Structure 1
């Protein structure tokens, strides 16, 4: 999940394969919200930070990880 802080981003579905559907749905919801805010962009199977997303990438990663704890 911390890969969202990198230019190449993460393959979200690949990362979520190990989690139950409740957690996966919550993470997808966060991703969709961040895409809507303009902080992430969908690029094929990957989600990547935008230029403004890099400024808040630690917070986005923290949101994703918060779902897991």
Structure 2
């Protein structure tokens, strides 16, 4: 499993970031999930944070979509 760290300003910012990442990943099973994880870990962490964990792009997209929907 690979953790993707998501951060945003406020609940809306966090959900928006999750939605943008989900859109990027959706339909791209060849995404380098470890590379994306490293990039996300290097970003400036904003006040609101969440972690989505998955073993592949499909799992991570599902988790991001749940987060974007308020889950």
TM-score under structure 1 length normalisation: 0.34
Which of the pair is proportionally richer in strand?
2
TM-score under structure 2 length normalisation: 0.33
Task: Return the structure number with greater relative CO, CA threshold 8 A, min gap 6.
Answer: 2
